[in-house]
Amino acid sequence: MTWKPEDGVRGTLEVVCDESGSDGENLTGGNTDVFAHGSVSMPTEVAAAYVQEVRDRIRSPATEYKANHLLREKHRDVLEWLLSPSGPIDGHAHVHLTEKAYFVVDRAVDLLLGDGDGHRDGDRHGDGTEALTLYRQGRREFGGERWRDFLDAANRLLRVRVGGAADGPVDGFFRTVDELRHAHPGTEILERLASARPRADAYRAELLEGPPLIPVLNPLLPAIVHTVAHWSAGGYAVRVVHDRQNMLTEQRVGWIGEQAARAGIGFAGLELVQACWDPRILLADFLAGIARKLASDELNGRADPELIALLRPFVGPTSVWGDARSWASLTKSTESAATLSTNINSAV
């Protein structure tokens, strides 16, 4: 069974989404190091036929199928079929990846060194260049233990809810920065971060007034904007159907619309549904879970080249990714994701 988006009515395109790898605000110490947002666009009856074929091929007694079923070695042929150039989702699916450690660095640098004064609106105020420089330099030069300490301190600084005194995350972050400055004197970006404590104090003080509309550390909302941007490239206004997610309140969906409008992206709204009601969500869930696992394996140097080659056509070029080696493998691109689609990245 085949279907092309052109067969539908041009104007509004319905895209169905799900995510994998959510650890809340604990991006550096959670269960996963990659967040993936998968999306598919096809009629419901076509997706239902493909999901049934997955069931027929795997023949598991499980009532709910997940990506883990396809990732088992004994079902590798099903996984290869799903991702293959002649497979069911070829040309009809997309995945936006977020390397969590780099996302934390990007948001911390933007908060402390960006052009804006506040982040309660969820906007970014820099182009990501300084964050990419710090991320790659830190991993290469600061040593594994010191670099992990910095990432954890940055994560704690940005988290909405942390234990202890209100200024604890600020003290901890700048203590870590000072340790790095002493170990690596003359590092310009560390010197600039060290002088940015007033911004960090202001950010934590704002959090005492109440949680922000858009949590700085949440990768889902910007991922949806990037997803809409991908599907709107053909001149469509994109209507998103998404698996139920508490993060997607009416106010935050409004924020997604504002960011899309700012970047000139067609956005026609968002609806939340339960996965069991829409087989397209199951396909998006399959893709997100598979992509998260394969991308994490590539990031950690244990990837299967054949599977990475099959995943590659689905990976969005504006994914939030800092590691150069794994990014080149995931996309066959020498250009960093951080430098692509500046109008979208600057908005989210």
Task: Mark which of 208, 230, 256 sits at the end of a domain.
Answer: 208
Residues 182 and 233 in one domain: no
Residues 107 and 254 in one domain: no
What's the pLDDT score for residue 337? 59
Domains in the chain, number:
2
What's the pLDDT score for residue 10? 55
Residues 112 and 255 in one domain: no
Rounded CA separation 65/88 (Å) = 17
What's the pLDDT score for residue 226? 97
pLDDT in tens, 75-133: 999 999 999 999 999 999 999 999 999 999 999 999 999 976 545 555 555 568 999 99
Show the domain range for 116: 101-208
Residues 83 and 133 in one domain: no
pLDDT in tens, 190-213: 999 999 999 999 999 999 888 899
Q: What is the dihedral of CA 73, 322, 141, 125, to 10 degrees?
A: -150
What's the pLDDT score for residue 342? 45
Tabulate helix, strand, coil % of the chain (nearest 5). Answer: 55, 10, 35
User: What is the DSSP-derived secondary structure letter of residue 320?
Assistant: B
Residues 293 and 230 in one domain: yes
Helices (H) and strands (E) in the chain, counts: 15, 5
Query: What percent of the chain stands above pLDDT 70?
Result: 88
Rounded CA separation 299/33 (Å) = 9
pLDDT in tens, 129-162: 999 999 999 999 999 999 999 999 999 999 998 6
- The bridge status of strand 93-99 relative to strand 34-40 is antiparallel
pLDDT in tens, 264-295: 999 999 999 988 789 999 999 999 999 999 99
